A and B are shown apart, each in its own frame.
Chain A
């Protein structure tokens, strides 16, 4: 069996594409940076929103247990272990798609070319 130690096996330049200097698509790199920031912020917002959805479900289940079971309840572990049913999965998906559309939908609007821009 061939063993691979991750740190030793990593070549120089590993992850250059995603950890490197990145790509620029707008004439002003600040716009690239702002859009990256928007994406990360929206992902963070969704992560919190999703945890709330899961938390509500876990707490709902906890409330139906007796006092002793609630006392032993490890909330953190239950959240991480939680497997949503189909109904909650559908709610999560719908809420996520709505958030993406709400925040980023404006970018898909047709807009007039800016032919005076100094383009690549």
Chain B
């Protein structure tokens, strides 16, 4: 049954699903607030004891070998993987019960507007994008229910603190307006289910706001929500590396945690593409994973990044962390400066400006 919404968030189709997923959310919080610190402390101790004071810079295989001798490390890895599997299985099962009505509501939105959806029937999703990122079944591209499943799944990911898109509001508020104050056309690149896109329209009601994403299930769902909320934005299925937009046609672009989900060779095309579509003086605001050589990190954190890459289907994040992203930005012609800090201090915040 359709149990309606809780503000911006869809409710699961049964109370039992809601209870189960609430449990998963609490378990995730326990994993981060209790298990991870214990893992980090015990892992760091054993690395120091077994590999010496330079243990943080030891080969990753040696770090894994000694950290895996600590019982809490094995338990933490099992728990991380298990709760993520539970979250996706139950979320998808819940919304599958209402599948026919939900898919019809996506189609019906097209007739209502005021948002628009732009899909090229000949568009081919590149293979690099067809991964089950974060273990989501069908990933971002292949499950027709992927939008609503992603929405509720990320409720658990954010541990309830983004139920009403509070995090996205923070990133939207941080978008840097060009120095001349003109912000008439804005792109949310890698928009997913369009949370920032809709908020950008609220912040800039007179602007033409676009959301672009490779995942058709995501932009279809984004479009439906925008229609439900009477927000006149535009969504398009497309590639960040080949957007199809005209040269110099946007005043500002925003991206939130897009780049670590892309192979480096694609990132090397995306930055020049953003340079091409921004007009002189236009800005590109980025919130993203950090970039740093991995042997500068504590051993337990190196263990974590590798674990996440292999066991949470983050196939491209490790290469991104080690990539010279800032060098690429500057070689592409952008002026680079630090952006506004955000509450998630793991993320880097950047503002890129196309010289006027």
Contacts and interface: CB of A to CB of B under 8 A. Distances in A.
Given A47-B20, A113-B42, 12 more contacts: A3-B103, A4-B216, A11-B142, A18-B89, A25-B81, A42-B23, A54-B15, A80-B3, A96-B23, A99-B23, A104-B30, A120-B64
B69 A79 contact: no
Contacts of A46: 19-20, 22-23
Interface string A1-25: 1111110011100111111001101
Contact of A39 (B27, B38, B71, B103): B27
Given A10-B142, A35-B79, A15 B23 contact: no
Most B CB atoms within 10 A — which of A14, A25, A80, A114? A25
Contacts of B54: none
A81 B119 CA distance: 36
A107 B330 CA distance: 47
A15 B14 CA distance: 22
Interface of B: 1, 3, 6, 14-16, 19-20, 22-24, 26-27, 29-30, 34-35, 38, 41-42, 46, 50, 64-66, 68-72, 74-79, 81-83, 85-86, 88-89, 92, 99, 103, 107, 110, 117, 119, 121, 130, 132, 135, 137-138, 142-145, 216-217, 220, 311, 313
Interface residues of A, number: 58
A96 B26 CA distance: 7
A119 B26 CA distance: 30
20 contacts: A4-B103, A6-B145, A14-B143, A18-B85, A19-B89, A31-B78, A36-B82, A79-B15, A83-B6, A96-B22, A96-B23, A96-B26, A100-B23, A100-B29, A101-B34, A110-B41, A111-B42, A111-B72, A113-B42, A115-B50
Nearest to A26: B74
